[in-house]
Amino acid sequence: MSFPDRPYDSIAGFFDAYAGQLAAAAASVSREALDRAQALLGEAIGRDAHVYACGNGGSAAISNHLVCDHARGVSADTGLRPRVHSLSATVEILTAIANDVDYAEVFAHQLKLLARPGDVLVTISSSGNSENVVRAVEWARANGMATIAMTGFGGGRTAALADVNLHVAADNYGVVEDLHQSLMHVLAQYIRLARMPAALVSERNF
């Protein structure tokens, strides 16, 4: 049964139910997969590889936000210089590819131009089935990149294709996207936390 499955008499009641959905969704995330994702990202950043992210709609906004937290955020107090890029933010080349080639190729085609073996792709897709995201994962896997897929609902094709699947067991777009944003923040903050001087942790804002 999907959420919501009935009307609510007040926004307070709906908020309480939504908060319960968030808690259940957070509990559903595989901690083993989360550990694999942070290790993969941390190792890649440590050896100066590039990290690319992509998604559509609200997931595009998370992809863009990821650049801030995984670049500026992770660099603070760590001595790291993360190379992080959102394939969803490049409106000029994105629209050129959509117009000249195919919208389904907007992310994969950018990877063909920019990425190298050893780089990492993070995809964000609630359904896991967005064709342009699926094609990006397929190209990345075929060309020596590691892949992390954030998914919701049934997981879709990217859940099966990616090296690491961060799956949120929820069927409400808002809940899934809220948890994807939280996972993005948790990964960035943990990578920073694990690589900064311990004495500084309590003195810094995260």
Q: State the CATH number of the domain containing residue 53.
A: 3.40.50.10490
Q: How confident is the model at residue 200, as a pLDDT?
A: 94
pLDDT score for 71: 98
DSSP 26: H
What pLDDT, in 10s, does the model give residues 140-190? 999 999 999 999 999 999 999 999 999 999 999 999 999 999 999 999 999
Structural domains of the chain, count: 1
Average pLDDT, integer, range 37-62 = 98
Name the token pair of 152.
Answer: 């919701």
pLDDT score for 1: 73
| Separation of alpha carbons 79 and 134, rounded Å | 34
Residues 2-6 have a mean pLDDT of: 95
- Strands across the sheet with 83-86, in order? 83-86, 50-55, 120-124, 146-151, 164-167
Assigned domain for 68 exists: yes
| 22 within a domain of the structure (yes/no) | no
Q: What is the pTM of this model?
A: 0.96
Q: Is the residue at 101 inside a domain?
A: yes
Q: Is residue 98, in this structure, part of any structural domain at all?
A: yes
Q: What percentage of the chain exceeds 90 in pLDDT?
A: 100
- pLDDT grade, residue 30 (50/70/90)? very high
Note whether residue 129 is domain-resident: yes
Q: What's the CA gap between 107 and 66, in Å, rounded? A: 16
Rg for the chain, CA atoms, rounded? 17
Instruction: Summarize the confidence of residues 97-110 as an average pLDDT.
Output: 98
Q: Domain span at residue 46?
A: 31-203
